[in-house]
Structure 1
Amino acid sequence: MKQHSGLRVSAMVLLCAGTTQLALAMPASLPAVQHAGVISYLSGGVGSDQSAEMKGEMHNYPLVLEFAGKTNAGNDYLADIPVQISDAHGTVLVDTNARGPFMLVSLPDGRYTVTARYKGTQQRRVVNVATGVHEHEAFIWPM
């Protein structure tokens, strides 16, 4: 009887070790999809795993926003950037803080104004979203 329980314990230890390795090998999950009316978006990309996953999802969204600060050594990604997206009539459709350096936005075809702020400096871009077209706007501030 002791031999059987020893085998069970050994099997459980191996199973747990294998499960732990599998869990560590799995990539971090994407952030939850957020909604503002008919517009949906992902916001994140903090850390190399989530950043890679966000980059892998970019092709699924017509508008990609990227936020960075320019340093002497290159660009550093930024997070917690206030972002507003307005339609052609000036109506604010999205008013949020980007949770990471990437914001992937799914919105209907049209012309939009995207406004982003970092340390009191505002940048604005006008983007045209159309079926089959992917817009990528990089907002880069001096640091």
Structure 2
Amino acid sequence: MSNRTVITFGTFDVFHVGHVRVLQRAAELGDRLVVGVSADALNVAKKGRAPIFNEAERLEIISALKVVDEVFLEESLELKRDYILERGADVLVMGDDWAGKFDWVSDVCEVIYLPRTPSVSTTGLIEHIAGLA
């Protein structure tokens, strides 16, 4: 029986329970969980702002989690297929806010979109905290 490798990607800025839950659910889908953490520059390009925690800090946070077996820096959205192939991933897991957007890699691995944790959003948390300042 071969090991099933699951891969997922995210910024994981202002780490919260929604992040914990999606990583736990992703880990349950296989034997090994690999996580790509978005580089600071990628986050600026994608969201128009730098993360609160820098990429080294976010890599440290994610690598400390017991459900995570490997962590790496995701430097480009266009390299998703390469990251999947390089790490031998059998399954790509993303939040359902990305539903359909990664179906283009379904020829190299299974693609699963998981429901997000209701009422928890990093952007919402940042805006809430900023409003308190």
Larger % of strand: which? 1
Quick check: which has more Rg, 1 or 2? 1
Structure with greater contact order relative to length (CA < 8 Å, sep ≥ 6): 2
Larger % of helix: which? 2
User: Normalised by the shorter chain, which TM-score bucket?
Assistant: under 0.3
Q: What's the TM-score, normalizing by structure 1?
A: 0.22
